[in-house]
Amino acid sequence: MINRTTFLMAVTAAAAFALPLFVGCSKKAAEPTEPADEQHEGHTAEEHAAMEHHDADHDEHHEPEHGGEALTEADVKMPESFAAGVARLSELHQKINDLIEHDELADVHRVAEEMAILARKMKELASRDIVEDNRTEAGRLCNEIAGYFSPIDEAADAGKKDETVAIHHQMAETIAKLEGLSKK
């Protein structure tokens, strides 16, 4: 009989090994089935050049999923005060609203990601700018804003406009509470 710890370690090791392979395979572009030289066989030099130009032009105008690399804290400018952070959250929230109105749900990811990073960083400002009695609530609300990133991203990526709007409204309520704390 296999001991429970050994079994769990084996399952964890298998998952740790398989997950990168699974993720890597799911995002990997399809490999051509024939060599590049044979793909364009039978085309004139002009046709070949035109195809290469089209491919380069196509790649130039299309960014990878969600606009490339994930944002980092270094990518997000830190506001000078908690109130300025709340104002920036409001601006970003309005930007998401505009994206929703124009059915650009795929672009919600980047803005929501910036909001999450900003909200997490704002907890430091709360410790300096918010009265002691309200700091815990400010931290909780910042965490709440940061926590909306995954749900709104998943809803937007799935094209679920109604669900994206509902999460957007929840974000608005939380930002309003942060605004109230910033004025105390």
Q: Are residues 14 and 86 in the same domain?
A: no
- Tell me how far apart the alpha carbons of residues 176 and 62 are, in angstroms, rounded to a whole number: 36
Q: Are residues 56 and 80 in the same domain?
A: no
Q: Is residue 68 part of a domain?
A: no
Give the chain's length.
184
Tell me if residue 166 falls in helix, strand or coil.
Answer: helix
Q: Are residues 58 and 108 in the same domain?
A: no
Least confident of 48-57, 93-102, 163-172: 48-57
pLDDT band at 57 (very low <50, low <70, confident <90, very high): very low
Q: Is residue 121 part of a domain?
A: yes
Q: Residue 106 belongs to what domain range?
A: 73-182
Contact yes or no for 145/116 (Cβ under 8 A): yes
Q: Are residues 57 and 89 in the same domain?
A: no
Contact yes or no for 79/129 (Cβ under 8 A): no
Among candidate residues 129, 97, 93, the one with its CA nearest the CA of residue 114: 93
Q: Number of folded domains in the chain?
A: 2
Q: Is residue 45 part of a domain?
A: yes
Q: Is the pLDDT of residue 58 over 60?
A: no
Residue 113: C-alpha distances to residues 28, 86, 110, 141, 180 (Å): 24, 15, 5, 16, 23
Count CA atoms closer than 13 A to 96's CA, side-chain side.
31
| 103-153 residue pLDDT tens | 999 999 999 999 999 999 898 899 899 999 999 999 999 999 999 999 999
What are the phi and psi torsion angles at 120 (to 5°)? -65, -40
Q: Is residue 131 part of a domain?
A: yes
Q: Are residues 44 and 91 in the same domain?
A: no
Q: Are residues 22 and 101 in the same domain?
A: no
Tell me if residue 25 falls in helix, strand or coil.
Answer: helix
Q: Where are the alpha helices (DSSP H) in 102-160?
A: 108-129, 132-147, 149-157
CATH classification of the domain holding 170: 1.20.120.290
